[in-house]
Amino acid sequence: MEWWKAAAEEIITGASKTLENLDKQQVEKLVEMIVEAKDKKIFIDGMGRSGFVGRAFALRLMNLGFNVYFIGETITPAANAGDLVIAISGTGETKMVVTASMAAKEIGAKVAAITTYKDSSLAKTADHVLIMGGRTKKGWPREEDYLTRQLLGERESLTPLGSMFENNCMIFLDGLVVELMYKLKKTEEELKAKHATIE
């Protein structure tokens, strides 16, 4: 048996289901907040693998012409009132992300959170929350799901820790890039023109 393939299929099937079940109004609101921040600054925040997914999204927002920064990188400037912070944390409890989110609120910036847990510390500080399913470091979001699955004899997830959340976010945010391309009438050529030429 090829475990890599079984696991990859699990990720693909999981992503397909999760994205099918996303709350459309939550997505629309997030798109709206990003478009509204067009002449402001956008800050992406996340630690570890959520952070890498956030950086991949930040790079595309840069391609799209946004003033976007990743929190913790060198040239990240001051956030001001009206700027937008997009914070990504599966558990919603990553301390650095929660701290940054609270700092952003104090300044008057808006916070949009992408997390699995609507009652998490991050979700509570955020102006807008997009609930993204997927197993996280904490395990499955609701224990009853886990028990149900066990009772039903469903096999355990192959994918460790937060991998499913991170893949779901990666695919979703790359979808969002296309949505923004259409909203802002950007062609791929325009994105390419802004892509790093020294790498």
Residue 39 DSSP code: G
Contact yes or no for 140/146 (Cβ under 8 A): yes
Closer by beta carbon to a second copy, 74 or else 153: 74
Catalytic site residue 166? yes
Q: Which residues in the 177-196 window bind a second copy by CB under 8 A? A: 177-179, 181-182, 188, 191-196
Phi then psi for residue 159, to 5 deg, are: -95, 120
Considering only 71, 86, 112, 126, the residue that binds a second copy (CB under 8 A) is 71
Q: How many residues bind a second copy (CB under 8 A)?
A: 82
State yes or no: residue 59 binds a second copy (CB under 8 A). Answer: yes
Q: Which residues in the 132-171 window bind a second copy by CB under 8 A? A: 137, 158-161, 163, 166-167, 170-171
Shortest CB 151 distance to a second copy, Å: 21
State yes or no: residue 31 binds a second copy (CB under 8 A). Answer: yes
Which residue, 69, 56, 70, is CA-closest to 173?
Answer: 56
Considering only 29, 96, 128, 146, the residue that binds a second copy (CB under 8 A) is 96
Phi then psi for residue 75, to 5 deg, are: -100, 20
Q: Which residues in the 101-130 window bind a second copy by CB under 8 A? A: 103-104, 107, 109
Q: Tell me how many degrees the CA angle 157-113-43 measures, rounded to the nearest 5.
A: 120
Which residue, 114, 134, 175, is CA-closest to 21?
Answer: 134
